[in-house]
Every structure is written in structure tokens, then in C-alpha cells.
Structure 1
Amino acid sequence: MRHSVKNDLLIGFIVSALLSLFVNFSMLMRKYDVINIQRNPALPEPPVFLNDYLFYFPLVWFFLFAFLLFIVNMQMYKLGDKIFRQREYKVALFAGGGSVIVGLGLLAVFPMVQKAVFEVAEVSAVHETVIVESRPDKIIPGYGRPISKATKNMEMRPDRPDANILLSRSIAFHPQMTEHLFVLITVLLSVLLIRLISGKQQMMLEYEKLKTEQLQTSYNALMGQINPHFFFNSLNGLNSLIRNGEKEHTLTYLDELSNVFRYILQSNKKEMVALAEELQFVKAYTYLLGVRYEGKLFFSIQAEPRLLLWSLPILSVLPLIENAVKHNVISKQYPLQIDIYTTKENTLVVSNKVHPKVEEGHSSGIGLKNLWGRYRLLTGKDINISNRKEYFKVSLPLSDLSV
């Protein structure tokens, strides 16, 4: 919160300074001309007297005017959020109306402040007036005869109309209501723009937080679906190998089982993995299933080399294999063939023949829903499910991203 307030104040400071310079641009250019004339008296342009008080007053005034309006408008938005409970159009009207009232109040005070400053400026100008030297033979329209050299301690008197005009015109140069309205509108629009940008950033942060929570929920659901079946079936397969005394197969089974465990444990730290890494896990996992369903379950894995570095969400293939094993008959009479391959459309396809179990009821499809949700959140793409009488096929789009 402190960091946000500090940033808002910094933005307000910068916007106020720029506005002050912008509305006083003509005065700054006059000051620049005066400096040039003082350095080069031969210039034909008429000298313009500008007292230091009169020069700095509009700069400081408009900076303070804009900065105070900026702070007031920001605070009015915060107060409006509490009163109207995030109803944006009411909050905007409330903040804008309050800021306009404050701006009009400052505008009403402006003549009194200006008068006080001009009185100080007049006293200073009477005691120390510098008039730039110009051509003595040139009559300056609107300013009377030019003074041939710089004069100090000059008083305003009837017999010196040229000096009186210079002093009166310098005092008459002051910002008008148009500049105040311009600053007021610019500040209101600036704060509204900042609020819209901040709101968009807040929505993005909330979306990322929601995305992370949904991914974690999907991951937990996936683990809850896999772990009970996986541990039970893995122990059964290992028990069968030990009972049969197949020492070499037992050691290989343990190696592949450890690879599967390692990959699953690392899955909560990764979101996307290379296709080559996912397929390596699939080979280890299918070996375990092959031991369990010896002579009844077969796998075919083919992938184009160019797609091995493409990526997909981690553990995308596992629920599809589990889904095929769970819902289909696996026997000597009806062996199950699962094909995993890539296509020219840069997708990974998991396909199997359909031999539904007789006692199988209506499937809830939770595994596929979780996979679809994870895939959509991580890649922005949808998986394609084709459920026909003979084949069940799921296509997973691959992403050309470095992992």
C-alpha cells in the first residue's frame, strides 16, 4: 500500500510539473526573449519587462493547483469506493464532482493570492527596474520611446509613460480561467486513466492468482485420482514378479517405478514439459502396466523428431492412459491397443479401440475435465475429444515453446 501511494504521488508530481510548464509556455518564451535581448541589445524586438515575482508565481501556482487537485481526486476515489462499494460510474461522478468543487474554490482564492504577489512585485519593481537597452532611434509601438540604457531606482511618474507602461503590462500578465479549467480537466482525466490502468493490473493479478489456484486444484484432483490406483497396482505388479522369482525383471520394474515416482513428484514444480520428457515418462509407466497386463495390453509410441522439443502440460498423457485402462475390457480375447503418435497438425494423439466393460456405468469424465481445464489455463488451447463406436481418440495440441 505504501509503495502504491508513493507511486501515485510521484505520478501526480510529474503530471503537475508538466502541466505548469505547458500552461506557462508563452510566459517562458517571453522570458527567454528578454534574456536574449539583454545579451544582445541590438535585437529589433521590443523589450518586455518581467519581474521575478511575476515569473515564478504562475509556475508555482499552477503546480500547486494541479498537485492538490490530483491528491484530492485520488482521495475522493478511495472515499467513493467505500461509500458506493465499487460501483464505478457512481464513484467517478462522486470523485469528479468533489474535485470540481475544490478546483472552483482554489480558482476563487486565486485573485487574492495574485493580488498579494503583484503588490510585492510592484514594490520590488519600483525599487529595482531593469529596462533593456534598445535602438535610440526606433519608436516601439505600444511601449513609447525606448530607454537608451539600463536604469535603476526608477519610480512611476507621469513624465515617464514608457516605464509606466512596461511595469503595468508586466503586472497585467497573469493566467486566466481557461488555463485553470484546462488543468482541472487534465488532472481528472489523468487520475481516471491511472485508475483504469491500476484496475486492469489488479484484474490481471487476480486472474493469475485464480489461475494458480485452479491449477493446484486440478493437480490435486489428478493426484487424488492417480495415487490410489497407481500405488495399489504397482505393489501388485511388484509382488507378482517377486513371487515368480524373476530377479532381473524385478530390478527393471523397480528402476522404472522409481522413474515414474520421480516424475510425478517433480510435477508440482513444473507446468510445461518437453514432449520428449513426457514420452520418456510414458514409456516407464507403460512398462509397469505391461507387467501387470502381460500379453493383454500393448502400446505404440511414435513421434516426429522435430516435435520432441515442443511442449505440453506435464502429466497430460497419464490420465488418458488411465482412462483407457479403466473403462475398457483387457483380456486375451479383447487385448487393448493404445496408440500414441504425433500428427502434421503438431498435435499428440492418444487413441485406443473401444471395448467397454459390461458392468461399466455412466462415466463422470472428471479426469478429462481436469485435463481440459489445465490445458486451457496453461496453453490457451483446447483438447479435441473424438468418441466413436470403435475408437476413442484425444488430440493434445503442442506448443512451440522452449522449456
Structure 2
Amino acid sequence: PVNARIAAISMLGVWAAYLLFLALRTIIVGQYSFAIAFPRMLFTVLISIAANWFLYRLLLLTRGGKIAPAVILLSFPTLIIALGIAYIDSVLAVPPVLAGAPGITYPNWPPFIDNAFICYLILVGWGGLYLALAHNRAVQIAMENSRKLEKLNRESELRALRYQLNPHFIFNALNSVSGLVMEKKNEQAEHLVDGLADYMRAVLDDDGAELISVEDEVAQQVRYLEIEQVRFPGRLNFEVHLDDAVRTWQIPALIIQPLVENAIKYGVARTTNPVRIIITANREAGRLKLSVANDGRMSLNDDRLTGTGTGLTNIRERLAVIYGNGAALIMANGKGNMVVASVIIPDAAQIFRDG
């Protein structure tokens, strides 16, 4: 329903305009003395406002949204209210106020009918305005609720996708910690535990923003790579190249984690030779290009190339939820015998566009 304050203001506005009309008509026509007629007009308008408020209370009963009860209320009860106002104005209130006016006998039925008709039109007009405002308010509330539900749905999807971590990473990291402790390399074990704690805090922090800067995202992946270096001593080397122009660019948290994980899985774990992993971020054609490259090549049936891997599916789904068709994930064999995975992300203005 419409706020009571808005309803009251609209009533006062409508009946104040009607009072002004009556006053101007009396002054222009000059049939009655304004000093004698104005108290009657004011009395009638006050009665009308009270009756209008009663109509408002009746219309509140139709807040369920069905139009038929509102139409019935505006048709029959409004007619009775209008007749009551006209009776008070034309029959009860006139004789004591205009006693002795020439050429008038009471009850004066023609003015009664005119007043009843005018009051009915005013009340029905106000009722129509009220229903329009109520409907508009209902539409606004529905749209707000729809947007809230859509936002909650998107956040739920993103959170579910964000938590699709490879459990083997945690187990392998803990095994590495255990191995370091058994070898009495306590300082390295402590460093590894700290790195794992920082990384998992970023992954599982419910209070953190879904979007983080490129610099923070890459810093998390550096922690990940430092943990994995303990598993592959002497075999894993990594480089990071960030353009200053994109360091503060907002991107989905952990969006390249599956790419780094794949670089470990397909690049490092499958060979005994040293492998490079290179993370780069730069701006191309007004968009962010965030790439993870590793030594090696992809075959035609590689699930990275076909896009059937869980991690790559996770990335594509998260990008679709946030950017619609505005972002992309590209896998390709690059120069220098390297596999390159690139995430292309538009600027922040494209977030939540369905494209």
C-alpha cells in the first residue's frame, strides 16, 4: 500500500484545489456573499477529507493486489460517501449558513445532485490515483526483491564456484610440511605453514570482497607457487610481470588459481626437468589480459584445449556470472614452447552485464 503520509498529502492537495475552485467561483459569479459562503465551503471540504480518509482505510483492505475489490470499493461505497457529503453540504449545512438568501428554497435538490456528482468524481479520481501509486509501489518492491534475489543467487553461485578447490593441493602441502618436520627443517616448515594459512584464508574468507585487485590476486598465486616449490625443489621456477596500469584493476578473487594449478599439474608434475611458470598482466585494447604460461605443449585432445577440465569450467562459469559475455578464457600453444592460458576481463563498468 501507499505510505499514509503520501495518501494524506494527496488528499489535502485534491481537496485544497477543490476549495480554491469553489472560492474563485463564488467570487467570480457573485451569487452569494463570500464571507457567508466560505465557512460552508470549508466545512464541506473538512467533511470530505474525513470521508476520503475513511475511503483510504477501506482501500487498504485491497492490499492483496486484486483489482476487483478496489473497483467495487470505488464504485458503491464511494457513491454512498459522495451522497453523504452532498447531503451535508446541500441540505444540512446550507440553511443555517445561508439563511435568508433570496430565491432559494430548501432542501435544494439540484445543487445536491451536482455536489454529489462532483464529490463522486473527486473521490473516484483520488482512488484511481491511489491505486496507480500503490501499483507503482508494488512494482518497485517486486523489482527490488527481484534484484536482491538475483544478487543473492549470483553470490551463491560465485561462492560455490570459488570453493571448488583441488583437495589434493592441501593434502600435498600438509605432506610437505610433515616431510620438512621429519627432516628437522623447522624454519622451512613454519614458512610453509604460514604460506598455506595465508592462502587458505584468502580462499575461505566469507567477509572478503568477491573482487580484488590484480596485485592482490597475483600475490596469492605467488604464495601458492612458493608452497608448491617445496614439493618440487629445483624444478619449479616462476616469474611475475605486472604492468603498473593494471595493478589496481578489480578482478574475481582466485580467478587464475586453476590456471596456476594446471601449470603445475601439466608442466611441472609430468617432467623431471626444470619448468618455468610466468604470470603476466597487461592492458590490451581497453581490457585486462591476465596470462599464465608454462613450459610444454598441449595436444589436440588435451582437456585444457577442449575446455572440459573442472578448473577451466569453474573459471568460465565465474566469468559468465559476473561479466556475461564480456569476458573470455583462451587456451593456446604459445611461442617458446610454452602453453599460455589467458583470462580477458573488461573494466569494472561491465560487471553483472549479461551482454
TM-score bucket of the superposed structures, by smaller chain: 0.7 to 0.9
Report the Cα distance in structure 2 between the residues aligned to 1:278 and 1:268, rounded to whole angstroms: 16
Find the counterpart in structure 2 of residue 124 from structure 1: 96
- 1:204 alignment partner, SS class: helix
Q: Which runs of 5+ in 2 are unaligned?
A: 335-339, 351-355
Shift of 1:99: 3.7
Q: How does 1:1-400 map to 2 (within 5 A)?
A: 8-29=3-24, 47-48=33-34, 49-61=36-48, 63-64=49-50, 66-76=52-62, 78=64, 91-92=66-67, 94-95=68-69, 97-102=71-76, 105-108=77-80, 110-125=82-97, 156=100, 163-164=101-102, 172=111, 175=115, 177-178=117-118, 180-226=120-166, 228-242=167-181, 246-326=185-265, 330-332=270-272, 335=275, 337-344=277-284, 345-352=286-293, 355-356=297-298, 364-378=308-322, 382-390=326-334, 391-399=340-348
Kindly indicate whether the alpha-carbon contact (under 8 Å) linking 1:16 and 1:66 is maintained by their aligned counterparts in 2: yes
- 1:278 alignment partner, SS class: helix
Kindly indicate whether the alpha-carbon contact (under 8 Å) linking 2:214 and 2:250 is maintained by their aligned counterparts in 1: yes
Greater strand fraction, Structure 1 or Structure 2: 2
Kindly indicate whether the alpha-carbon contact (under 8 Å) linking 1:351 and 1:393 is maintained by their aligned counterparts in 2: yes
Is the alpha carbon distance of 1:113 and 1:264 closer, same or farther for their aligned partners in structure 2, counting shifts above 3 Å? closer
Is the alpha carbon distance of 1:13 and 1:112 closer, same or farther for their aligned partners in structure 2, counting shifts above 3 Å? closer
RMSD between aligned residues: 4.0
Is the alpha carbon distance of 1:363 and 1:229 closer, same or farther for their aligned partners in structure 2, counting shifts above 3 Å? farther
Report the Cα distance in structure 1 between the residues aligned to 2:349 and 2:149, rounded to whole angstroms: 25
Report the Cα distance in structure 1 between the residues aligned to 2:53 and 2:24, rounded to whole angstroms: 24
Residue type of the alignment partner of 1:383 = A
Residue type of the alignment partner of 1:98 = I
Is the alpha carbon distance of 1:233 and 1:348 closer, same or farther for their aligned partners in structure 2, counting shifts above 3 Å? farther
Q: What whole-Å deviation, never above 9, does each CA across 1:42-92 have from its counterpart, x for those lacking one?
A: xx999533152332213431x3454444444443351xx5xxxxxxxxx44
TM-score scaled by length of structure 1: 0.67
Is the alpha carbon distance of 1:238 and 1:355 closer, same or farther for their aligned partners in structure 2, counting shifts above 3 Å? farther
Report the Cα distance in structure 1 between the residues aligned to 2:121 and 2:85, rounded to whole angstroms: 18
Is the alpha carbon distance of 1:296 and 1:57 closer, same or farther for their aligned partners in structure 2, counting shifts above 3 Å? same
Shift of 1:310: 3.0
Larger radius of gyration: 1
Q: Which runs of 5+ in 1 are unaligned?
A: 35-43, 82-90, 127-154, 157-162
Residue type of the alignment partner of 2:171 = F
Shift of 1:231: 1.2
Is the alpha carbon distance of 1:351 and 1:264 closer, same or farther for their aligned partners in structure 2, counting shifts above 3 Å? closer
Q: What whole-Å deviation, never above 9, does each CA across 1:137-188 have from its counterpart, x for those lacking one?
A: xxxxxxxxxxxxxxxxxx63xxxxxx4269999x959646356335424432
Residue type of the alignment partner of 1:341 = A
Report the Cα distance in structure 2 between the residues aligned to 1:274 and 1:208, rounded to whole angstroms: 25
Shift of 1:305: 2.5
Is the alpha carbon distance of 1:265 and 1:17 closer, same or farther for their aligned partners in structure 2, counting shifts above 3 Å? same
Is the alpha carbon distance of 1:76 and 1:294 closer, same or farther for their aligned partners in structure 2, counting shifts above 3 Å? same
Residue type of the alignment partner of 1:317 = I
Kindly indicate whether the alpha-carbon contact (under 8 Å) linking 1:384 and 1:395 is maintained by their aligned counterparts in 2: yes
Shift of 1:326: 4.0
Shift of 1:232: 0.8
Report the Cα distance in structure 2 between the residues aligned to 1:72 and 1:326, rounded to whole angstroms: 70
Is the alpha carbon distance of 1:237 and 1:271 closer, same or farther for their aligned partners in structure 2, counting shifts above 3 Å? same
Count of aligned pairs between the two proteins: 335
